[in-house]
């Protein structure tokens, strides 16, 4: 949505748009963050195993 379109909205419409964007459901906000952290830790474990194998055979 462009800034020109946003400036034509009423305050109530802007409030509704903001509520839809920033929901109170903490699961929707933390879910992607936690999944990203878990995935990064899995890849970190994989990288550490590869480094240990490289270190053992070099």
CA distance 16 to 34: 27
Give the pLDDT of residue 44: 98
**Could you tell me the pTM of the whole model?**
0.51
Nearest to 1 by CA among 15, 12, 28, 14: 14
Give the pLDDT of residue 1: 63
The residue length of the chain stands at 58
User: Structural domain boundaries of the chain?
Assistant: 25-58
pLDDT along the chain (58 residues), means of 10: 78 84 73 91 98 95
Show the CA angle centred on residue 35, arms to residues 39 and 41, nearest 5°. 30
């Amino acid at each position: 949505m462009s800034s020109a379109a946003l400036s034509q909205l009423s305050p109530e419409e802007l409030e509704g748009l903001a509520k839809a964007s920033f929901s109170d459901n903490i699961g929707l906000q933390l879910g992607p963050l936690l999944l990203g952290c878990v995935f990064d830790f899995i890849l970190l474990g994989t990288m550490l195993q590869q480094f240990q194998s490289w270190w053992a055979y070099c």
